[in-house]
Amino acid sequence: MYSHSRKIGIATFFISVFMASQSANAGTSASVPVTELKYTETGIGPINVAPGFGDMTKGAHSNFVKIPGGFNSPPHTHTEDYYAVVVSGVVGNGMEGAQDIPLPPGSYWFQKGNEKHVTKCLSANECVFFVTQPGKFDFVMSK
């Protein structure tokens, strides 16, 4: 069994490797303060995103995702796997009806593609998490 800090280290390593593999196509180096992130609506309820790298409508990307406090997504899937790291708030991500595992800042999760799940902001204040996905983003409502 991995320790909590080891799990965070593993997630950070994989995200870093993925981002480094994309850096050759990313253009110039950039440093973006949190105050300069520009969130836009996704058209999926109250879910908003701010770009990290790539184009989420075309392929590999990383984005900051913001959801309001108390938000509970409907059951859905994504075609591609993704990794997420919690930046603020307390997130829950898992199978519909399963007991929530609170994920505070610094926590991460891996979501297998085509697996039905729900994503929640368990805290009263908004939740922000950083998502890395190897293909384009989709949100397929479950029946």
Chain segment 80-102, per-residue pLDDT in tens: 999 999 999 999 999 989 999 99
- Evaluate whether residue 34 is within a structural domain: no
- Evaluate whether residue 119 is within a structural domain: yes
- Evaluate whether residue 111 is within a structural domain: yes
11 phi and psi, to 5 degrees?
A: -60, -45
- Evaluate whether residue 33 is within a structural domain: no
What DSSP string runs through 64-130? Answer: EEEE-TT-BPPSEE-SS-EEEEEEES-EEEESTTSPP--B-TT-EEEE-TT--BEEEE-SSS-EEEE
Residue whose C-alpha is closest to residue 18's, from 139, 103, 130: 130
For the four alpha carbons of 71, 116, 6 and 134, in that order, the dihedral sign comes to: negative
pLDDT in tens, 59-81: 999 999 999 999 999 999 999 99
d(CA 40, CA 47): 9
Q: What average pLDDT score do residues 4-9 get?
A: 48
pLDDT at 35 over 70: yes
134 phi and psi, to 5 degrees?
A: -80, -5
CB 41 within 8 A of CB 139: no
The number of distinct structural domains making up the chain is 1
pLDDT attached to residue 140: 83
CATH code, 19? 2.60.120.10
d(CA 55, CA 45): 20
- Evaluate whether residue 31 is within a structural domain: no
Encoded tokens for 106? 């610094």
Give the whole-number percent of the chain exceeding pLDDT 90: 71
For the four alpha carbons of 108, 64, 34 and 70, in that order, the dihedral sign comes to: negative
- Evaluate whether residue 98 is within a structural domain: yes
pLDDT attached to residue 28: 85
Provide the domain limits for residue 94: 4-26+40-141
pTM of the model: 0.80
